[in-house]
Amino acid sequence: MRIKMMLRLIVFFALLSCQKDDDAPNEVSPVLIQKIEIQGTDITSGVTGQMTAKVTPDNATDKSVIWKVSDATIADISATGLITAKKNGTITVTATANDKSAVVVTKVINVKSFSTTPIADYEVSTVAELNTALGKVKAGETIVLNGGTYAMTSKITITTSGTSDKMITLKAKDGAARPKLDFSAMSEGSANQGIVLTASYWHIKGIDIYKAGDNGMQVKGSNNVIEFMTFSECSDSGLQLDNGAANNTILNCDSYFNADSSLENADGFACKLNAGTGNKFIGCRAWQNLDDGWDGYLRGTDNISTTYQNCWAVKNGYLKDGSKGAGDGNGFKTGGSDDKLLKHNAKYTNCIAAGNVADGFDHNSNRGEVTIYNCSAYDNGRSYSFSSSNPLAKLIIKNSNVLGAYGTTLADVVDSSNNSWQNGITVTADDFTSIDYTQLLGARKADGSLPDVTFFHLKSDSDMINKGVDVGLPFNGTLPDLGAFEF
């Protein structure tokens, strides 16, 4: 009897336990993330950018994500998705769901907020700092000059060379006033140049060289670029290439008011004496230099070639005060030599000689080959002067014009055609929008390029439009026009 009672109690409590389990509420399962969208944009200003994660579904139990970036050298990211940039570059941002869904999404972010202007290896403000930097600089490095006047007491000699892929740069600081190297404390003398560049692979830009006792700059090295410089009131040629200097480019430079006490040597630019070959002048101007705008006189070398593109020679032979000096006064003197035998081959394209005391284009006993394409001359003593005395080996002159007498175009071999004094063309001032060559001395553009002018631009009814021959230079219309400017 007692056993039966115990069995009944066991069954009762078992049934009671089952009833309680059936009545207990069910456990709720978590809602997992199915999709993540990273919201945020490229960093183009400042150094921070906020990333947010939009998750689907909206009722996900845990909406948090883990942030990561692909390159910590470019930027870091915080636990809340805030990117802090360190430098320009591209990173991949990853957001990983923090729940058990293992959803992962990525987004590419570009950082473009940092200045791309190269940081100078040396930034100088004094003569002492400049000399120190020049003594330390290595291939591929940059020296930046702050604006202002540097009172120089001795010349600068540069001997350390760069390489073809790692040039050394010496330049004015971007956005600052132009630096001026003032050598007026130096006396006139053949050893008192402003800068002597014996090194190669330099890029020197945006500096004014004033009143050196000899050349403003003497280039003896090769493969250099001299850009947007001025050379003024020096006691010899503003810039001179010699001593084997080869393959240098002189770009958008001005040389003016240079005069020496000997009344003979101060040119604007000179590629002369024992210079090497392959030098180029592009977009340069020379005006009111005592002797010539450009001088190519040779001594100690032979059969070199120099090119001139879009260069202007104006009023050479006149001094700073406007009076006529005692120098030769040519615009472009192609060559010449002591024995009258040396050859300086020269090519001029789109060049202008205006208002020079003597010849606009002159050979001065040069025995080489001179090519003149699409050049202009006006108001010179003689505009084109290539005589039979010690003549050129060859003169090629095409598509060029002149207002007034053209001069003499003789050589051992002459290839002259399609010029304004040929084919029955008559040239008057009415052919041109302007004949005021003072325009040529206007301020350069901010990038150093030549000013826009109307001087010697042809009017629409000029007989010189489409009267040239194709010489490989760009032109409008059916054929090239005559002169330095296309209509």
Q: What is the pTM of this model?
A: 0.78
CA–CA gap between residue 337 and residue 455 (Å, rounded): 34
CA–CA gap between residue 100 and residue 80 (Å, rounded): 20
Same domain, 277 and 422: yes
68-118 pLDDT per residue, tens: 999 999 999 999 999 999 889 999 999 999 988 888 989 999 998 877 655
Is 333 among the catalytic positions?
yes
- State how far the alpha carbon of 289 is from the alpha carbons of 240, 420, 444, in Å: 14, 29, 19
Last residue of a domain, one of 111, 145, 166: 111
Last residue of a domain, one of 79, 111, 143: 111
Task: Report the candidate in 355, 392, 399 with the shortest Cα–Cα distance to residue 377.
Answer: 355
| Domain-located, residue 174 | no
Ordered per-residue pLDDT tens for the chain, 487 residues: 445 555 454 545 544 454 444 444 556 788 888 899 999 999 988 889 999 999 899 898 898 989 999 999 999 999 999 999 988 999 999 999 998 888 898 999 999 887 765 568 999 999 999 999 999 999 999 999 999 999 999 999 999 999 999 999 999 999 899 999 999 999 999 999 999 999 999 999 999 999 999 999 999 999 999 999 999 999 999 999 999 999 999 999 999 999 999 887 899 999 999 999 999 999 999 999 999 999 999 999 999 999 999 999 999 999 999 999 999 999 999 999 999 999 999 999 999 999 999 999 999 999 999 999 999 999 999 999 999 999 999 999 999 999 999 999 999 999 999 999 999 999 999 999 999 999 999 999 999 999 999 999 999 999 999 999 999 999 999 999 999 999 9
Strand partners, 254: 230, 285
Same domain, 106 and 219: no
Q: Burial letters for 263-276: b for 16+ Cβ neighbours within 10 Å, e otherwise?
A: eebbbbbbbbbbbb
The CATH number linked to 67 is 2.60.40.1080
Indicate left, alpha or beta for 46 from its phi (over 0: left) and psi (-120 to 50: alpha).
left
AA identity, residue 93: V
Which residue is associated with the tokens 């001065």?
364
Strand partners, 158: 197
| Domain-located, residue 101 | yes
Q: What would the 3-class secondary structure string for the chain be?
A: CHHHHHHHHHHHHHHHHHHHHHHCCCCCCCCCCCEEEEECCCECCCCEEECEEEEECCCCCCCCEEEEECCCCCEEECCCCEEEECCCEEEEEEEEECCCCCCEEEEEEEECCCCCCCCCCEEECCHHHHHHHHHHCCCCCEEEECCEEEECCCCEEECCCCECCECEEEEECCCCCCEEEECCCCCCCCCCCCEEECCCCEEEECCEEECCCCCCEEECCCCCEEECCEEECCCCCCEEECCCCCCCEEECCEEECCCCCCCCCCCCEEECECCCCCEEEECCEEECCCCCCEECCECCCCCEEEEEECCEEECCCECCCCCECCCCCCCEECCCECCCCCCEEEEEECCEEECCCCEEEECCCCCCEEEEECCEEECCCEEEEECCCCCCCEEEEECCEEECCCEEECCCEEEEECCCCCCCCCCCHHHECECCHHHHHCCCCCCCCCCCCCECCECCCCCCCCCCCCCCCCCCCCCCCCCCCCC
| Domain-located, residue 484 | no
CA–CA gap between residue 370 and residue 359 (Å, rounded): 15
- Domain residue limits at 249: 215-441
Same domain, 101 and 249: no
| Domain-located, residue 462 | no
| Domain-located, residue 413 | yes
Q: Report the residue count for the chain.
A: 487
| Domain-located, residue 8 | no
Same domain, 105 and 245: no
Predicted local distance difference test score (pLDDT) of residue 23? 47
Predicted local distance difference test score (pLDDT) of residue 27? 64
| Domain-located, residue 76 | yes
Q: Is the bond leading into 118 cis (omega within 30 degrees of zero)?
A: no
Residue 392 neighbours by CB distance under 10 Å: 28
Same domain, 367 and 242: yes
**Which pair of tokens denotes residue 371?**
């090519």
Same domain, 226 and 82: no
Last residue of a domain, one of 50, 81, 111: 111
Pairing of strands 413-417, 304-309: unpaired
| Domain-located, residue 24 | no
Same domain, 241 and 98: no
353-366 pLDDT per residue, tens: 999 999 999 999 99
Q: Which of 63, 333, 343, 347 is catalytic?
A: 333
| Number of domains observed in the structure of the chain | 2
